[in-house]
Structure 1
Amino acid sequence: MPRIEGFEAYRMAMPRGRRPESIVVRVTGDDGLSGWGEVAGSDMCWADIEDRVGPALLGLEWELPEEVGGVGGLGGSAAASATDIACWDLWCRRQGSPLSHSLGGTRTSIMAGARLSAEPTLDVLLTRVNRLVGGGYTRVTLAVHPGWDVEPVRAVRHAFPAIALQADAGEAYTESPEHLKALEALDAYGLLAIERPFPGGDLPAYARLQRQIGTAVCLDPADLETVDTAIAMNAGRMLGLRIARLGGLTAARGAHDRALAAGWDTWCGGADGFGIGQAAAVALASLPGCDLPSDVTETPTATAVVTPPVAITGGVVAVPLTQPGLGHAIDETRVARLARQSLRIPA
C-alpha cells in the first residue's frame, strides 16, 4: 500500500510584508512523487500543522485521498485542508489524471466572479464595479452591513441592470425588525443570493428568512452535518464551497454532491494565495453543480509558485486538463525563496 515518506510545510509571505500569507505543504510518497497543497496562513494553523497534522501523516499508508482525513481526526480543520489538497494532487499524479476529472469535474472552463468590500462612497463603488464589468466579470458580490445595504445594491443594480449581483452580509445581521426590513428590501433588486446573513450559522433564522424572500439565502458551511441539516430545514437554496473552511477537497466535493442532489445552487470560493490554492479551487469549480461564477482570483506573476499562473481572461478561467494533478508545475525554488519559516519531517 502506498505510504507517505516525507512531509514539508512552508510559511509563505509576499515580498515587503504584503498580504496574503499562506502555508504551502508538500507530501512525498514512497515512490518519490509529491503532491502540493495550500491554505491561508495563521499562527494557529501553522502550530496545528507542526504539532499534529504533519507528524500524523508521516508513514501513513493510504489508497485513496478520501481516506486521509479520517486518520487521527485530521479532517475538518484549515490545516488539514492543505494536506487534503496535497494528497489529492499526489494521488492524481500517480494516476496520470487531472484533479478536475478525478473530483468529477465536467467543465473545460469556469466563469469567475469578483467580490468588493464596502466602499467609502457610492461613486467609488460604481467605479470599481464598472472596472470589473469591463474586465469581463459576469457576477459581482457586494459586501453589505447594517447601514450599507439597500442603497449600494440599488445604485449598482440601476447602473448595471444586466449584471449578476450577490450580497455578502458577513453574518452582520440579526432578526431585529430593522435588520429584517433591510434584508427583505434587498429582495427587490434581483440578487442571486444573500450570503451569510446571520451569525454562527443560525439555521432556524436562515430558514425563516428564506420563507420570507424569493432571493436565495446562501450558506457558508463548515462541515457536512451543517449542509445536511440546512437542506432538511430548507434553510437556504445555495452553498458557497470554501475548501479551507470545509477542511479540504474531500468534504467540499461531498457538500457539492449533497447540494446538487437537493437542487441547491453552488459556487466555489477561492482565497488569495500563491497559486496552489487557486488551482484547487478551479478544479472544484469544474464540478457539474457549480453553475454560478466562482470566486477564483488570479495569481500575481511575480509571486506565483505555479506555472503557468492561474489567470482570468475576459472573466473566464481555463481548467487545466493536459497535466495530472493540479495541472501546474511547482516552482520549488520560488517556494523556498518566499518562505519565512519551514518545516520538514523527517528533518
Structure 2
Amino acid sequence: MPIDIARIQLRRMRMRLKHPFGTSFGTLQNKEFFIIEAIDSAGETGYGESVAFSAPWYTEETVETNLHIMRDFLIPLLKNNPVNHPDELSRLFAPIRRNNMAKAALEGAVWDLYAKQQNVSLAAALGGTRSRVEVGVSIGIQPTINELLEKIAAYVEEGYKRIKLKIKPGQDIDMLKAVRNAFPDIALMADANSAYTLEDIQHLKQLDALQLLMIEQPLAHNDIIDHAKLQQSITTPICLDESIHALSDVEKAHRLGSCQIINVKSGRVGGLTAARRIHDYCLENNMPVWCGGMLESGIGRAHNIALASLPQFILPGDISGSDRYWDKDIIDPEIVVQDGYVAVPDKPGIGVTVDQQALEAFTKSIKSYHL
C-alpha cells in the first residue's frame, strides 16, 4: 500500500550559528537550508532537512540547486510514482544524477512520515540497536591556540568522547602538537577538508607521532587513488568523507586500501537508505563508520541520531547538543549531551517535537506542492 503523502512543503530557513565555524575552505555563521514537510491526508507531518550550503565549497550542491532539483524533478517523480516504502525512493530518484543532498532531504521527510504512520521510531525503522550514541564535537579553526585549548577544555569537561579539529596548511602540526601536549589522553582527530596533496606526504607523516584517531579527507574531494598511496605512507588512519557519494565508492576505497574508516553523512550519499547500505557493507568488512555532521538544526540532528544507532557506528559522531550551535533550536526539548552520550528517541518517527513557533520565526518562505 502506498505511503499516504498528500502534500510536500519546502520551508526555506535561515538560522545564525552562535559562533563562526571556520574550515580550510572558509568561515560560516549564517546557515540557510530547507526543512521539508511531507504531510499525509490526516495532517501527520514527516520532517527532513537539506544540508547543502549557500556556496558550493563542500560539494557542488547549494541551497538554490536543492530547491531546483526538489521542485522540478524529485517532487514530480514522487507525485507520479507513489511508493510503498522509503527504500524505494533511491531507485525512483536514480535517473537524476548526483544531487544527493536534494534527494536525502526529501527522502528524510518521507522516512519520518513513514515511521510515524507505522508508529515506530526512525531508529527502529532503520534497524538501530542502541538506546544512546557516543558523540564527539567538531571545532573550527580558532584565532589562537590558547582560544582553541580553552574550547577543548570546556568540551572535555562536558564529557564529549572525541575532539575533531579542522586543519589546513600553516595551521596543523604545531597546533595539534600543542593540543596533544595539553590533552595527552583525549580521542583526537584532524579534519583537513581536502587541503593537502601528495606533495605533503613528508609533512603529514608528522601526524603519526600524535596518536590521532584519524585524519579525515586530507587529499582531493574526489580522490580515492591518491589516498591509497598516502595511507601506505602513514600509520595514522585515513577517514574518507567528501570522496564517498555511494556504496560503490566505499567498495573501491576498501579494495584499494584508501582508508581505514568511513564518515557517513546521509545528505552526502543520497539519503538514509544509501547510508544504511554503506553501513551494512562496512559491518560485513569490519570497517568502522561514524556519523558526520553538517551544522544541522535539531531536525537534521535527530535524523543523524537515528542513523548512528546502527551497530557499526562504533566511533563517536558529530552529533553535538543543540546549544553547541544555536541560541534557539527548532525542536523542544533540544538535544542534550549527557556524559558524552545522546539518547536515541524512541517515540514515533524522529522522536522529537518541532517547536512550531521557532520554526515559523526562522522561516523565510514556504512553497507547497500537492501530490
Question: Under TM normalisation by the shorter chain, which class is it?
Answer: over 0.9
**Does 1:118 pair with 2:129?**
no
**Does 1:29 pair with 2:40?**
yes
Q: CA deviation at 1:122?
A: 1.8
Change (3 A) 1:45 1:263: same
* Equivalent AA in structure 2 for residue 248 of structure 1: G
Native 8 Å contact 1:109 1:318 kept in 2: yes
Report the equivalent of 1:337.
Answer: 361
* Equivalent AA in structure 2 for residue 346 of structure 1: H
Find 2:203's aligned residue among 150, 169, 182: 182
Separation in structure 2 between the aligned mates of residue 227 and residue 23 of structure 1, nearest angstrom? 28
Native 8 Å contact 2:12 2:35 kept in 1: yes
* Equivalent AA in structure 2 for residue 54 of structure 1: I
Q: Mapping of 1:116-155 within 5 angstroms? A: 116-155=139-178
Separation in structure 1 between the aligned mates of residue 99 and residue 131 of structure 2, nearest angstrom? 29
Report the equivalent of 1:268.
Answer: 291
Find 2:334's aligned residue among 305, 309, 326: 309
* Equivalent AA in structure 1 for residue 51 of structure 2: A
Report the equivalent of 2:316.
Answer: 293
Report the equivalent of 2:58.
Answer: none
Find 2:76's aligned residue among 29, 42, 55: 55
Native 8 Å contact 1:271 1:297 kept in 2: no
User: Could you say what the CA RMSD is over the residues aligned between the two structures, in angstroms?
Assistant: 2.1
Native 8 Å contact 1:100 1:319 kept in 2: yes
Q: Mapping of 1:200-211 within 5 angstroms? A: 200-211=221-232
Separation in structure 2 between the aligned mates of residue 302 and residue 182 of structure 1, nearest angstrom? 39
Q: CA deviation at 1:72?
A: 4.2
* Equivalent AA in structure 2 for residue 89 of structure 1: D
Native 8 Å contact 1:84 1:248 kept in 2: yes
Q: How many residues align structurally?
A: 344
* Equivalent AA in structure 1 for residue 368 of structure 2: R
Report the equivalent of 1:92.
Answer: 115
Q: CA deviation at 1:164?
A: 0.2
Native 8 Å contact 1:50 1:343 kept in 2: no
Report the equivalent of 1:327.
Answer: 351
Task: Give the match's secondary structure for 1:200.
Answer: coil
Q: CA deviation at 1:204?
A: 1.5
Report the equivalent of 1:196.
Answer: 217
Separation in structure 2 between the aligned mates of residue 142 and residue 7 of structure 1, nearest angstrom? 38
Unpaired runs of at least 5, structure 1: none
Task: Give the match's secondary structure for 2:221.
Answer: helix
Separation in structure 1 between the aligned mates of residue 103 and residue 225 of structure 2, nearest angstrom? 29
Change (3 A) 1:15 1:165: closer
Instruction: Compare 117-126 and 61-70 and name the one that shifted more.
Output: 117-126
CA displacement 1:233-260 (0-9 Å, x = unmatched)? 1111100011211111111111111112
Change (3 A) 1:59 1:307: farther
Native 8 Å contact 1:10 1:23 kept in 2: yes
Report the equivalent of 2:306.
Answer: 283
Report the equivalent of 2:11.
Answer: 10
Q: Percent identity?
A: 34
Q: CA deviation at 1:331?
A: 3.3
Task: Give the match's secondary structure for 2:291.
Answer: strand
Task: Give the match's secondary structure for 2:337.
Answer: coil
Q: CA deviation at 1:16?
A: 11
Q: CA deviation at 1:115?
A: 1.2
* Equivalent AA in structure 2 for residue 114 of structure 1: V
Separation in structure 2 between the aligned mates of residue 12 and residue 76 of structure 1, nearest angstrom? 20
Structure 2 length-normalised TM: 0.87
Question: Which runs of at least 4 in structure 1 moved beyond 4 Å after TM superposition?
Answer: 15-18
Native 8 Å contact 1:5 1:59 kept in 2: no
Separation in structure 1 between the aligned mates of residue 327 and residue 76 of structure 2, nearest angstrom? 32
* Equivalent AA in structure 2 for residue 21 of structure 1: E
Q: CA deviation at 1:302?
A: 5.7
Separation in structure 2 between the aligned mates of residue 45 and residue 164 of structure 1, nearest angstrom? 35
Native 8 Å contact 1:76 1:246 kept in 2: no
Change (3 A) 1:208 1:230: same
Separation in structure 2 between the aligned mates of residue 344 and residue 33 of structure 1, nearest angstrom? 15
**Does 1:212 pair with 2:233?**
yes
Report the equivalent of 1:82.
Answer: 105
